[in-house]
C-alpha cells in the first residue's frame, strides 16, 4: 500500500503541542542523566569543561532537530525515518531500517529502560535474585497493554510521567543548589587532562531520543507549525535541566567527586537529606525510566505499522485499531521482542550495558543515513513544498552527519560482543528482504 493510503488510514490528528513535547522530553530525559555526568566529569579537566560539554551537546541536538524538522514537515508520515529512508535510498534500505528498529533499536531501548526501572525498583522493594528482570517484564507488559487500549490512555500516562520526571529533576536541582554544602572537592586540584571526545559521546547519548518526534508527525495537530515548535521547546527544556543539574552536582561534589562517584545523584541527595535522600532518588530514577519506557513503546509501534503497510510479508503489522487509534499488532510484536531481549539481558552480567552495546552501532548508522537523506531528497524533489527548511544549508546537515559518523565510529570501537550481536540480527533481515522481493514478483 502506498504512503498516502497508510496516512489516510489514520483518524484525524489527536496529539497537541504539549502532548508532543511531553513525549520527546519523556524519551530524552531518562536514567542516563543520573549516570553519565560522572563519566563526563571523569573525562573533563575542570567544571567549565563539564558545563561547556553539556551546552555543546544541546547545540548539536538542536542541529539534528533542525534537519529532522525539515524531513518531518515535508513528509509527515506515521513511519517517520522509515518514510525518509524509503524515499532517499529505496525500499531495500527502508526494509532493513524497519527490521532493525523492530528487532534491535527500539526494542533494545525498551529493554534497556525496563532494566533501569527494574534495578531501581528493586532498591525499594526486592523480589529476590531475579527482581530486576521481573520488574522489567512487568513494566513492558503493563505499558504495552495500556497503549494497546488506546492513544488517549497512552498520551495521558506519558504527560503525567513527564511532569513527575521534571518535578523530580527540579527538586534535585533546587536541593543541590540551595542545601548542598560546597564540596571540598571544589578546591581539589583539577584532573590532569581531559578527553573531550569521550565526554561528548556520553553527553550525546544522554540527549538521544528527540528524533522520535518524526514518528508522531502524522498525528500532531497543525504539523507544519507544531513539529518544529515541539522540537525547539523540548530541546530547550532538556538543555536547561541538564545544565542546572550538573551545576548542582558540581556544587555538592566537585569535578573530582563527580568523577569518582558510582551513583552520583544518590551521593548528592545523601549529602543533602541523608538516607531518605537516597531512597527519594531511587523513586525518581524508577519513575524517569518508566516515563521514557512508555514513550518509547508509544512511538516504536508506529514504524511497525508503516512497515506492514508496505511489505506484504509483514502485512499483519499493518493493522490499525481504528476505535482505539492504535497499531495494535505493532504494539504486541514489539512487546514480545522486547521481552525476549530482557531474557537475553538477564543472562549477562549487566542487562543495561548489554542493551547499550546491542543497539548503539545500528542506531547511529541509520541516523547517519537520515542526515544524508536531507541532501538526497532536496536534490531529487527540489519542487516539493517544504514548510520548514533547515537554515545554513548545507553546513547544518553536514555538521549533523559528521557527528553521526563520529558516534558510529565510537560505538563500534568502544562496545563489545553486544554490538556484534546487534549487527548480526540486522543481517538476519537480509533473507527476509529477498523473500519479500520474491513474494512481490509472484503477486
How far apart are alpha carbons 281 and 261 in whole angstroms? 15
Asked if 388 contacts 217 with a C-beta cutoff of 8 angstroms, the reply is no
**Long-range CB contact pairs, 276-279, < 8 A, 24+:** 277/175, 279/123, 279/124
b or e along 71-94 (b: 16 or more beta carbons within 10 Å of the residue's beta carbon)? Answer: bbbbbbbbbbbbbbbbbbbeeebb
Q: CATH class for domain 3-360+416-442?
A: mainly alpha
Per-residue model confidence (pLDDT) at position 150: 66
SS3 304: helix
Per-residue pLDDT tens listing for the chain (443 residues): 444 444 444 456 677 888 878 777 876 776 678 778 888 888 888 888 999 999 999 988 888 888 888 888 788 776 678 788 999 999 889 889 888 988 898 888 888 888 888 887 887 888 888 888 899 999 999 998 888 876 555 556 666 766 777 777 888 888 888 877 775 554 444 444 567 767 777 788 788 777 765 556 667 787 667 877 887 888 899 999 999 999 999 988 888 888 887 667 778 888 888 888 878 888 888 887 887 788 788 777 776 776 677 677 777 776 666 555 667 788 888 899 999 989 888 876 567 667 877 888 888 899 899 999 999 999 999 999 888 888 889 999 999 999 889 888 877 876 667 778 888 999 998 998 888 777 767 66
Could you tell me which residues are beta bridge partners of residue 15? Answer: 220
C-alpha cell, 256: 573530582
Phi-psi region of 392 (alpha: psi -120 to 50; beta: other; left: phi over 0): left
Annotate 409-423 with DSSP letters as a single string. Answer: HHHHHS--HHHHHHH
Could you tell me which residues are beta bridge partners of residue 321? Answer: 326
SS3 187: helix
SS3 243: helix
How far apart are alpha carbons 328 and 382 in whole angstroms? 37
DSSP letter assigned to residue 318: -
C-alpha cell, 210: 528527540
Q: Where are the domains of the chain?
A: 3-360+416-442
How far apart are alpha carbons 411 and 105 in whole angstroms? 13
How far apart are alpha carbons 78 and 6 in whole angstroms? 8
Q: Tell me which residue of 87, 73, 178 sits closest to 377, measured CA to CA.
A: 87
Vertex 302, ends 67 and 330: CA angle to 5°?
Answer: 155
From residue 58, how far is each of 138, 155, 238, 420 by CA, in Å?
Answer: 33, 25, 8, 30
What torsion do the CA atoms of 18, 23, 28, 33 make, to the nearest 10 degrees? 80
C-alpha cell, 165: 520526571
How many Å is the Cα radius of gyration of the chain? 21
From residue 355, how far is each of 48, 103, 225 by CA, in Å?
Answer: 32, 12, 35
Q: Tell me which residue of 316, 3, 280, 247 sits closest to 124, measured CA to CA.
A: 280
Could you tell me which residues are beta bridge partners of residue 239? Answer: none
Amino acid at each position: 500500500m502506498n504512503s498516502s493510503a497508510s496516512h489516510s488510514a489514520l483518524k484525524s490528528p489527536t496529539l497537541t503541542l504539549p502532548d508532543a513535547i511531553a513525549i520527546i522530553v519523556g524519551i530524552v530525559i531518562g536514567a542516563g542523566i543520573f549516570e553519565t555526568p560522572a563519566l563526563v566529569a571523569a573525562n573533563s579537566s575542570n567544571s567549565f569543561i563539564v558545563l561547556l560539554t553539556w551546552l555543546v551537546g544541546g547545540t548539536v541536538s538542536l542541529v539534528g532537530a533542525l534537519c529532522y524538522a525539515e524531513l518531518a514537515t515535508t513528509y509527515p508520515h506515521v513511519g517517520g525515518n522509515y518514510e525518509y529512508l524509503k524515499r532517499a535510498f529505496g525500499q531495500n534500505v527502508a526494509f532493513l531500517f524497519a527490521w532493525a528498529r523492530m528487532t534491535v533499536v527500539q526494542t533494545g531501548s525498551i529493554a534497556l529502560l525496563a532494566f533501569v526501572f527494574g534495578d531501581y525498583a528493586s532498591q525499594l522493594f526486592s523480589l529476590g535474585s531475579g527482581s530486576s528482570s521481573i520488574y522489567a517484564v512487568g513494566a513492558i507488559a503493563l505499558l504495552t497493554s495500556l497503549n494497546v487500549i488506546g492513544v488517549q490512555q497512552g498520551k495521558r500516562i506519558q504527560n503525567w510521567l513527564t511532569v513527575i520526571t521534571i518535578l523530580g529533576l527540579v527538586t534535585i536541582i533546587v536541593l543541590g543548589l540551595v542545601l548542598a554544602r560546597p564540596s571540598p572537592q571544589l578546591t581539589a586540584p583539577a584532573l590532569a587532562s581531559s578527553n573531550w571526545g569521550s565526554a561528548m559521546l556520553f553527553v550525546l547519548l544522554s540527549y538521544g531520543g528527540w528524533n522520535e518526534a518524526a514518528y508522531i508527525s502524522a498525528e500532531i495537530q497543525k504539523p507544519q507549525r507544531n513539529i518544529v515548535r515541539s522540537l525547539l521547546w523540548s530541546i530547550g527544556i532538556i538543555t536547561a535541566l541538564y545544565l542546572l543539574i550538573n551545576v548542582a552536582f558540581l556544587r555538592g561534589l566537585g569535578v573530582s567527586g563527580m568523577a569518582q562517584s558510582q551513583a552520583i545523584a544518590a551521593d548528592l541527595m545523601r549529602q543533602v537529606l541523608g538516607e531518605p535522600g537516597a531512597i527519594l532518588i531511587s523513586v525518581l530514577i524508577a519513575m524517569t525510566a518508566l516515563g521514557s519506557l512508555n514513550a518509547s513503546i508509544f512511538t516504536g509501534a508506529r514504524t511497525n505499522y508503516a512497515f506492514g503497510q508496505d511489505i506484504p510479508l509483514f502485512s499483519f503489522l499493518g493493522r490499525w485499531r481504528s476505535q482505539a487509534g492504535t497499531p495494535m499488532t505493532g504494539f504486541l510484536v514489539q512487546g514480545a521482542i522486547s521481552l525476549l531481549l530482557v531474557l537475553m539481558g538477564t543472562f549477562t552480567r549487566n542487562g543495561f550495558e548489554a542493551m547499550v552495546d546491542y543497539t548503539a552501532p545500528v542506531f547511529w548508522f541509520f541516523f547517519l543515513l537520515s542526515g544524508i537523506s536531507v541532501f538526497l531528497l532536496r536534490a531529487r524533489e527540489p519542487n516539493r513544498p517544504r514548510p520548514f527548511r533547515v537554515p545554513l544549508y548545507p553546513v547544518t546537515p553536514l555538521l549533523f552527519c559528521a557527528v553521526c559518523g563520529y558516534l558510529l565510529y565510537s560505538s563500534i570501537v568502544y562496545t563489545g560482543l553486544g554490538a556484534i550481536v546487534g549487527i548480526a540480527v540486522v543481517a538476519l533481515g537480509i533473507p527476509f528482504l529477498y523473500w519479500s522481493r520474491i513474494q512481490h514478483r509472484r503477486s
